[in-house]
Structure 1
């Protein structure tokens, strides 16, 4: 059954196979180059990278504020290849490869092979996908990739609404909810758009929906059970991030700040590809005619309208002051596909040929600038986490305390970097160590940087009164890659004699 979806059959099979091969070869070469660069640039880990190294120390059903799926994949990579840069970068590279291929597969039945190539290649134009995803992002990359796969599966089920398709859709939904919790916004928008488009509603909404719902429930159930038992811990980080920028001036001021932040985040995400399209397709503008009557055109309009309504509703609570541009990734990644869908008369081959050199130039620029940011950033006065002296700190701590294997610190940036440089060091966050029931026995090392919360040692000793301080000091290390200045780290070495001592608040 194909009612409600317009299938573009203008592309011959040899053309499809040839273009698919070219796309796959280009993507493999691009991400292989990135992987090679990642392994040769020996800077400290970025924030998200350090966080995922910290989380992947062990398998858990939940990891505080972050859903577990990326940490599971990273744990698997470390288990197979060891704790190294290759294993750290490999999951993200494969996820990004799946994102680009998923966009192509989702778009091809709707807008033809050349339109699909243009839509997939255009992903590199979004700064948060083309640049930030390669630089640091983890969970958001996986979220966007699963959202893209879900969109592809949605249209596949629309073309062939069989039980297997509904089960696959449910599987992707269950996995998506374990990438980041704001996958729920994408899912809600998708459901709303599906219900609002009559042709889609008549095809999809039948008893087979139970198959999708049941599959999603079973896939999400293990983490969902953990989530219900740890709801406060899981929600705390999300609530804190949403509340950034929301002051105490009053409801209207907070709503105004939230709406302004929403507009700013949307523009930051979409303005570059929009400008590129306006420039590259300027000679084709007379052939652009929007057709809002087709089901797929109305679907995308309803999809984005639903996203907007959901986000505005969240802002209207008065509790949201800051919306980050990377939160737009799973919501707006399909904009190029939507453009070709609502402008069916746009010559797709010509559009792709005009976009291709720009996309290639942007991709090459990203590959060049990523390592240069690390190598030459300090000379320009730009100090970032890769310039922090965590490898030197890890070596110094191991030299001074060779028998110590447990390190407690306050942030995942330090914790992940120390464990990555010295895998034998088990790292814990101070807050987790205080609140958890994990046993801390023997030699324990507390390490904090200049940004640590005052009173951190008193908090630890209050929670673990049996701990005895054996040494306390300070280590000052210069920035890496010639950066001017230095970082100071305070450390306290303790001996927990009583093996029954557990850190409890």
Structure 2
């Protein structure tokens, strides 16, 4: 690999593609129970809507389309996520190619993306909408830098498409194009790109893509924002520390945690030239540096404005993804022989991402050996097999929560699954399977929200008693099990 990268830095693109293919394979080898975001996407993939709730719809649209053609499964869930991550890295490298002077700089920037915790760890654990937004940021950087370097109809159009996709992927994406405009204002040669009439093409493309969801958002603003605002205010204000200071400290802490691995990897490889790299600058390092500053300044203003006290690292993903490109361009501007250090850089990144992948996979495999079972070990497949053996396939499934609904959706891919507060409003077909998880030795009664849901649809439960299944996590250990309670309502009831 060292010799190959030394001769052809473009080989890094193939290595990154191979890594994400490996991620898909490893996910298929893990238990088929779903994480939170995976189960949410499995559940929502049943519908094609302009708005789904607290998150924009782009990722849901892609997952719905994939499910329509190939069905919903762990494979389609994993393939979509890792394909978007690969495209994120691909366009990131192409963006760097627009402005780099060293042929190895694009590969360094692209590999730098893999050092970001949201990419090498959080995304492989459980992310969805953020993954789509990361792809949109990379596509935007490609179109934006191409427009600055060699403007054309195509570059403006790509930039506009990226903005449209980004807005309907994650709402905080809007910070990135605003920061980009602010970043080029001091550069006289670049500032004129804002006033080029072709920017209208970019605006039109963005509006066309975002308009359907924007219309929905205007009528559902509370539904789309309440959850996020509540999470940002977790912990509440303190009597001793002002709210704005709590928010600032939380943002600072999350930022340090988010950038630490990337800074550490670059520092490890280029430690002999840190002073030279720190002093080096170019037109592009100035633009990217201002973008980073503008992004975090805008976020800080939002944090203070809404009274946020708790900022999560993953919320900063769309901002810190600019960092590897900035650092790579600083190295590029220093005149450093990047191609000589690229093999070592790639080796460190490979070690980082493969260790993280092993740890995440080991959680589901090693945990049961130690008597620890997590969400990913829940034996939904065994429950589904038991239902099919005794009753056959239901016409409709009703459950209590989105996580159970998404998991049962992958086990019964041809059956519509509903949950109270979900999106389906049609009559419940029969035979109907009503199922919920029983925690501990109690909780056998039908949850109130499900009972209310059934009554509104004139489903009578008189004379029907729940059945129970205790499904072992492992065939070798019957003591550790999951308890399911369910009703089977036949077509003639």
Give the TM-score range, shorter chain.
0.7 to 0.9
Cα distance in structure 1, aligned partners of 2:487 and 2:301: 47
Judged with a 3 Å threshold, the aligned counterparts in structure 2 of structure 1 residues 194 and 365 are, in CA distance, closer, same or farther, namely same
Give the C-alpha shift of residue 120 in structure 1. 0.8
Tell me which residue corresponds to 1:3. Answer: none
- Does the 8 A contact of 2:277 with 2:330 survive in 1? no
- Residue 273 (1) aligns with residue 262 (2): yes
Alignment check: 8 A CA contact 1:170 1:214 kept: yes
Preserved contact between residue 27 and residue 97 of structure 1 (Cα < 8 Å): yes
User: Does the CA contact (< 8 Å) of 1:471 and 1:492 recur in 2?
Assistant: yes
Q: Which residue of 1 aligns with 2:483?
A: 488
Cα distance in 2 between the residues matched to 1:206 and 1:482:
69
User: What residue is the counterpart of 1:310 in the other structure?
Assistant: 298
1:269-348 to 2 correspondence within 5 Å?
A: 269-292=258-281, 294-343=282-331, 344-347=333-336, 348=338
Aligned residue number for residue 348 of structure 2:
358
How far residue 305 of structure 1 moved from its aligned partner, in angstroms, is 1.6
1:428 aligns with 2:428: no
Give a deviation string over 1:176-211, Cα, whole Å, max 9, x none. Answer: 111122212223222322335443222333332222
Partner of 2:466: helix, strand, or coil?
A: strand
Q: 2:248 aligns with which of 259, 262, 269?
A: 259
Instruction: Give the CA deviation at 1:253.
Output: 4.3
From 165, 181, 185, give the equivalent of 1:195: 185
For 1:146, the equivalent position in structure 2 comes to: 136
Cα RMSD (Å)? 3.0
Q: Report the equivalent of 1:215.
A: 205
Pairs within 5 Å for 1:242-253: 242-245=232-235, 247=236, 249=238, 253=242
Aligned residue number for residue 78 of structure 1? 67
Counterpart CA distance in 1 for 2:400 and 2:177 is 35
Task: Sort the Cα spacing of 1:382 and 1:158 in 2 relative to 1 into closer, same or farther, 3 A.
Answer: farther
Conserved 8 A contact 1:375-1:481: no
Q: Is the 8 A contact 2:41 2:60 kept in 1?
A: yes
SS of 1:363 mapped into structure 2: helix
Aligned length: 479
Alignment of 1:51-90 (within 5 A): 51-90=40-79
Q: Distance in 1 between matches of 2:57 and 2:24?
A: 24
Return the match for 1:417 from 401, 407, 422. 407
Inter-partner Cα distance in structure 2 for 1:295 and 1:287? 17
Distance 1:286 1:186, change over 3 A: closer
Among candidates 472, 476, 488, match of residue 478 of structure 1: 472
**Secondary structure, aligned partner of 2:311:** coil
Sort the Cα spacing of 1:409 and 1:466 in 2 relative to 1 into closer, same or farther, 3 A.
closer
Contact 1:186–1:331 (CA under 8 A) maintained in structure 2 = yes
Q: Please name the residue that 1:4 is paired with.
A: none
1:138-195 residue CA offsets vs partner (Å, 9 max, x unmatched): 2111110110110111000112222332222111111111112221222322232233
- Any conservation in 2 of the 1:468–1:495 contact (CA below 8 Å)? no
| 3-state SS of paired residue (2:104) | helix
Is residue 440–residue 496 contact of structure 1 (8 Å, CA) maintained in 2? Answer: no
| Residue pair 1:171, 1:215 contacting (<8 A) in 2 also | yes
From the superposition, tell whether residues 116 and 65 of structure 1 become closer, same or farther in structure 2 (CA, over 3 Å). same
The one of 3, 8, 14 equivalent to 1:25 is 14
Name the SS for the 1:234 alignment partner: helix
Find out whether 1:137 has 2:103 as its counterpart. Answer: no
* Residue 50 in structure 1 maps to residue 26 in structure 2: no
- Structure 2 residue matching 1:427: 3-state secondary structure: strand
Cα 1:200–1:383 shift into 2, 3 Å: farther
Contact 1:466/1:497 (8 A) holds in 2? no
Deviation at 1:318, TM superposition (A): 4.6
CA distance in 2, matches of 1:255, 1:448: 42
Alpha carbons 1:193, 1:303 under 8 Å: kept = yes
1:405-442 CA-to-partner distances (Å, cap 9, x unmatched) read 22222322111110101113311221126xx6432344
> What is the aligned partner in structure 1 of residue 174 from structure 2?
184
Look up the SS of the partner of 1:478 in the other structure: strand
- Segments of structure 1 that go 5 or more residues without pairing to the other structure are 1-14, 499-505
Quote the residue 1:383 is aligned against.
373
1:468 aligns with 2:458: no
Contact 1:255 1:315 in 2 (8 A): yes
* 1:169 to 2:159 alignment: yes
Q: What is the Cα deviation at residue 326 of structure 1?
A: 1.2
Closer, same or farther: CA 153–389 of 1 in aligned 2, 3 Å:
same
Q: What is the TM-score with the length of structure 2 in the denominator?
A: 0.87
Structure 2 gaps of 5+ residues are none
Q: Describe the shift of the 1:329–1:248 C-alpha distance in structure 2 as closer, same or farther (beyond 3 A).
A: closer
The more displaced of 344-353 and 126-135 is: 344-353
Aligned to 1:98: 87
Deviation at 1:108, TM superposition (A): 1.9
Are the equivalent residues in 2 in contact too, given 1:126–1:269 (CA < 8 A)?
Answer: yes
1:490 aligned counterpart, secondary structure: strand
